[in-house]
Amino acid sequence: MRKSTFALLLLALLFTACAGVPQKAKMNAQAPELSAKTLSGDAVHLSNYAGKIVVLRFWMIGCASCTEAMPLLDQLQTQYPDTLAIVAINSINENRDCRV
The answer to whether the CB of 59 falls within 8 A of the CB of 90 is yes
Q: What pLDDT is recorded for position 18?
A: 56
Q: What one-letter code names the amino acid at 89?
A: I
What pLDDT, in 10s, does the model give residues 42-63?
Answer: 888 889 888 899 988 888 888 8
Domain boundaries 24-98, corresponding CATH code: 3.40.30.10
The rounded distance, in Å, linking the Cα atoms of 68 and 58 is: 13
Strand partners, 89: 58
Domain ranges of the chain: 24-98
Counting as low any pLDDT under 50, the low residues of the chain are 97-100
Taking residue 59's Cβ as centre, other Cβ atoms within 10 Å add up to 19
Nearest 5°: CA angle at 84, between 88 and 22? Answer: 65
Q: What pLDDT is recorded for position 74?
A: 92
